[in-house]
């Protein structure tokens, strides 16, 4: 099975941080991408974010101006999902809530063609639990991009117990043809990256809660000493503490409250205070 041909249309549902980035990646690869969100203002903001990033890439001589224009033209905002009924691939990037996602998948299944693939960008939810309600569970897989999607090469293609191997294969080939580095993972809590990363974030938050080091010091150590692209606090501020905390909670619960994955009470307080990171103007750091 080859990757999806460029004439296959894609619908991205959820035009937030991840959905807009994923739409940009797929449009840059040559697909027409329908962009839908439950909030119309989010669709406009998502498309504006894509435009801004494309302009940035052109200014940095990393993208040709004509290619940027063509990429943006391929991102088609839709006010209703029904307008995207001819999509061959749906990529869901809405709120990390199983019931809400399942409701969306049922709607997608009633709209899309029988062979259309449904992919979820979930960070941690079970692909098996999501697929359970579908008439054709084999068509659903995880397609987990990392933030920011246009820059981060890694993509986890996640198979549940019922995922058709051809679906996973198609997504793996697609990911590669979009310039990404796709890896195949089974549907276990947190998949690979979000499982391995949990104790990393937790330990960094513990260092902070115990006043052992300033966040900037720890970030610099991980950046300069270990060559990570970002330190843990910069990264959590980028991801959003609400998202990061929800993922930790979900992995913790899915592993039957194994202490190794225990969420940080300090991060819980950050979320309660609305200090979500870059998106709210303040997380661990303040943003002008
Ligand atoms: P976000 O809050 O930036 O965007 C989510 C968007 O989905 C919002 O615009 C919201 O209006 C829309 N939405 C919510 N419910 C909807 C519905 N029922 N129908 C249509 N639109 C709906 O969130 P995000 O950070 O982009 O995360 C989206 C998904 O990607 C989540 O599953 C998250 O776990 C996952 N994810 C996030 C990151 C990250 O770093 N933020 C990384 C990888 C994966």
Q: Which of these three, 170, 186, 202, is where a domain ends?
A: 186
Q: What's residue 3's pLDDT?
A: 65
If asked whether residues 173 and 86 sit together in one domain, one would say: yes
If asked whether residues 142 and 159 sit together in one domain, one would say: yes
Per-residue pLDDT of 13-65, as tens digits, reads: 999 999 999 999 999 999 999 999 999 999 999 999 999 999 999 999 999 99
Q: What's residue 1's pLDDT?
A: 43
Q: Are strands 140-145 and 154-159 parallel, antiparallel or unpaired?
A: antiparallel
First to last CA, the chain: 48
Task: Tell me, yes or no, whether 5 lies in a domain.
Answer: no
* Nearest Cα to Cα of residue 31 among 88, 103, 85: 88
Task: Tell me, yes or no, whether 54 lies in a domain.
Answer: yes
Per-residue pLDDT of 126-180, as tens digits, reads: 999 999 989 999 999 999 999 999 999 999 999 999 999 999 999 999 999 999 9
Q: Is the pLDDT assigned to residue 198 strictly greater than 70?
A: yes
If asked whether residues 200 and 142 sit together in one domain, one would say: no
The model's confidence at residue 4, banded by pLDDT at 50, 70 and 90, is confident
If asked whether residues 170 and 213 sit together in one domain, one would say: no
> What residues contact 19, with CB distance under 8 A and at least 6 apart?
12, 13, 35, 37, 46, 91, 93, 94, 121
CA-CA distance, 154 to 144, in Å (whole number)?
A: 9
Q: Facing residues of 142 across strands? A: 120, 158
Task: Tell me, yes or no, whether 1 lies in a domain.
Answer: no
* Residue in 109, 121, 126, 144 annotated catalytic: 144
Per-residue pLDDT of 228-270, as tens digits, reads: 999 999 999 999 999 999 999 999 999 999 999 999 999 999 9
Per-residue pLDDT of 203-231, as tens digits, reads: 999 999 999 999 999 999 999 999 999 99
* Nearest Cα to Cα of residue 258 among 194, 189, 186: 189
Number of domains in the chain: 2
Task: Tell me, yes or no, whether 135 lies in a domain.
Answer: yes
- Ligand 1 pocket member 156 (CB < 6 A): no
- State yes or no: is 73 an active-site residue: no
- Please give the ipTM for the structure prediction: 0.99
If asked whether residues 158 and 52 sit together in one domain, one would say: yes
The model's confidence at residue 2, banded by pLDDT at 50, 70 and 90, is low
CATH number, position 243: 1.10.1040.50
CA of 14 to the centre of ligand 1 (A): 6
Q: Rounded to two decimals, what is the model's pTM?
A: 0.92
3-state SS class at 73: helix
Mean of pLDDT over the chain: 96
- Ligand 1 pocket member 122 (CB < 6 A): yes
The model's confidence at residue 5, banded by pLDDT at 50, 70 and 90, is confident
If asked whether residues 26 and 163 sit together in one domain, one would say: yes
If asked whether residues 81 and 167 sit together in one domain, one would say: yes
Percent of the chain whose pLDDT exceeds 90: 95
Per-residue pLDDT of 65-96, as tens digits, reads: 999 999 999 999 999 999 999 999 999 999 98
If asked whether residues 120 and 153 sit together in one domain, one would say: yes
Residue ranges making up the domain that contains 249: 193-280
If asked whether residues 156 and 226 sit together in one domain, one would say: no
CA of 158 to the centre of ligand 1 (A): 18
Q: Which of these three, 141, 163, 186, is where a domain ends?
A: 186
C-alpha 270: how far from chain center: 22
If asked whether residues 172 and 202 sit together in one domain, one would say: no
Q: Which of these three, 186, 218, 250, is where a domain ends?
A: 186
CATH number, position 14: 3.40.50.720
If asked whether residues 134 and 213 sit together in one domain, one would say: no
If asked whether residues 197 and 182 sit together in one domain, one would say: no
- Ligand 1 pocket member 23 (CB < 6 A): no
């Amino acid at each position: 099975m080859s990757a999806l041909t460029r004439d296959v249309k894609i619908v991205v549902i959820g035009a937030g941080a991840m959905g807009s980035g994923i739409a940009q990646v797929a449009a840059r690869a040559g697909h027409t991408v329908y962009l839908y969100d439950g909030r119309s203002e989010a669709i406009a903001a998502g498309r504006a974010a894509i435009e801004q990033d494309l302009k940035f890439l052109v200014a940095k001589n990393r993208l040709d101006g004509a290619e940027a224009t063509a990429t943006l033209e391929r991102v088609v905002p839709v006010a209703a999902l029904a307008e995207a009924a001819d999509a061959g691939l749906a990529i869901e990037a809405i709120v990390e809530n199983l019931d809400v996602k399942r409701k969306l998948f049922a709607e997608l299944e009633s709209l899309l063609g029988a062979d259309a693939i449904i992919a979820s960008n979930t960070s941690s939810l079970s692909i098996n639990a999501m697929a359970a309600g579908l008439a054709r569970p084999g068509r659903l897989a995880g397609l987990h991009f990392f933030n920011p999607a246009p820059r981060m090469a890694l993509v986890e293609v996640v198979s549940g117990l019922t995922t058709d191997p051809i679906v996973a294969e198609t997504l793996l080939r697609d990911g590669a043809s979009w310039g990404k580095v796709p890896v195949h993972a089974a549907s276990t809590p947190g998949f690979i990256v979000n499982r391995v990363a949990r104790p990393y974030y937790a330990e960094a938050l513990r260092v902070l809660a115990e006043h052992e080091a300033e966040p900037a010091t720890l970030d610099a150590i991980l950046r300069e000493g270990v060559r990570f692209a970002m330190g843990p606090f910069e990264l959590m501020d980028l991801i959003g503490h609400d998202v990061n905390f929800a993922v930790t909670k979900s992995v913790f619960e899915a592993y039957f409250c194994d202490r190794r994955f225990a969420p940080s009470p300090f991060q819980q307080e950050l979320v309660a205070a609305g200090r979500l990171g870059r998106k709210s103007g303040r997380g661990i750091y303040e943003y002008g």
